[in-house]
Amino acid sequence: MTKRALVCGAGISGLSAGICLSQLGWDVTVFERDSELRTAGAGLNLWPNGVRVLKTLGLGTQYAEISSSLNYYRTFSSSGEVIAVDDLRNWEDRYGASLSGVFRRDLSRILADALGRDRLRLGRQVVSVEQGDSVVCRFANGEVAEGDLLVGADGINSIVRDCVFGYHTFSSDGLVRWRGLFDLADVDVDPLSEAEVWGQDGHFGYLPIGHGRAYWFAAADGITQDTNAVVAHFSDWKGSPVPDLIAATDPASIIRSDLHDFVRPLPHWSKGRVTLAGDAAHPMLPGMAQGANQALEDIQALGTVLDSCSDVEAALQVYEQVRIPLVAPIVQYSRSLFDFEDQSELTSGHRNPLFDRYDRFVERREP
């Protein structure tokens, strides 16, 4: 008999879980709290590890059409001095995919199209989870759904996680990131490069995200609430490209996000027929730009174990045993690389430490 999977949340984790499980023959429904797919958040870096999962899901061509592949990663000081230039042109050969930038809305669209809109239920907020011989989700509108498996892909404030494991404590460092969108045609920067600009009082990065658009992300020391103050702060980084990018940014596109990870990692992701994926399982700071990439890796691992083991509960145990030790160092280094005040490694090596971390912890799986 066809097994039935419930997926809570239609972010990158939930949509890719839905695609993967339906390709394995599961009858899948993805339930999303909001009345439309999430579009906030502007852009994303997808690294080769994430892009390889999209290729495995059969979405390589669609992803190439909507994204930008990046040739170089340049690192400047806030006065415009070049600190490092990392050449990424051999990454397709080296890692099987390029470093890339993508507009979140476009990524959501290709994932939802591949899932099939008939498998997606919008406006369905999961409010409780119970399990025994099956798993049952109750929704805020009074509806109920029953399945053999529930994937909690409902993000950092996961209700599935709270129902199954109880409340978990988040870090509270007061870290904030600002993000904005601009058109490449309005500025004079290399359209095939990502860049970071490091100052004593802040950190600014930008990258193309397909179809002539680009996106920036920034953290400014001491500025946590006031968008105008952020604009003024970065408009002052003269000599670097940053003031021009700020001037080209539609102010309405600027968003702020509070950043959190867990004080201690979750010791388990699975209980009975319920498991977690993506930010629900392992919220991380964006220091390595790996949150969505690790979410995609979670889904690939989940698919592999469910495909090779017909006992759902046993498969979910294997899934967490495989994934928890792999994600832990990435969460840890995402935190250490967020500390833009420590630039010693960057300035001594003329190489952005991000690439060494990526190679060691993501590609070579150093513990």
Ligand X SMILES: Cc1cc2nc3c(=O)[nH]c(=O)nc-3n(C[C@H](O)[C@H](O)[C@H](O)COP(=O)(O)OP(=O)(O)OC[C@H]3O[C@@H](n4cnc5c(N)ncnc54)[C@H](O)[C@@H]3O)c2cc1C
108 near ligand X (CB under 6 A): no
**What is the per-residue binding string for ligand X in 162-201, x denoting contact by CB under 6 A?**
---------------x-x----------------------
- Of 2 and 225, the one with the shorter C-beta distance to ligand X is 225
Q: How far is the CB of 160 from ligand X (least distance, A)?
A: 7
292 near ligand X (CB under 6 A): yes
3-state secondary structure the chain: CCCEEEEECCCHHHHHHHHHHHHCCCEEEEECCCCCCCCCCCEEEECHHHHHHHHHCCCHHHHHHHCEECCEEEEEECCCCEEEEEECCCHHHHHCCCCEEEEHHHHHHHHHHHHCHHHEECCCCEEEEEECCCEEEEECCCCEEEECEEEECCCCCCHHHHHHHCCCCECCCCCEEEEEEEEHHHCCCCCCEEEEEEECCEEEEEEECCCCEEEEEEEECCCCCCHHHHHHHHHCCCCCCHHHHHHCCCHHHCEEEECCCECCCCCCCEECCEEECHHHCCCCCHHHCCHHHHHHHHHHHHHHHHHHCCCHHHHHHHHHHHHHHHHHHHHHHHHHCCCCCCCHHHHHHCCCHHHHHHHHHHHCCCC
- Of 280 and 302, the one with the shorter C-beta distance to ligand X is 280
13 near ligand X (CB under 6 A): yes
- Of 159 and 354, the one with the shorter C-beta distance to ligand X is 159
45 near ligand X (CB under 6 A): yes
47-66 residues in contact with ligand X (CB under 6 A) are none
Q: How far is the CB of 238 from ligand X (least distance, A)?
A: 25
Q: How far is the CB of 3 from ligand X (least distance, A)?
A: 21
> Stretches 19-27, 183-191, 284-292, 307-315: which one binds ligand X (CB under 6 A)?
284-292
**What is the per-residue binding string for ligand X in 125-164, x denoting contact by CB under 6 A?**
xx--------------------------xxx---x-----
18 near ligand X (CB under 6 A): no
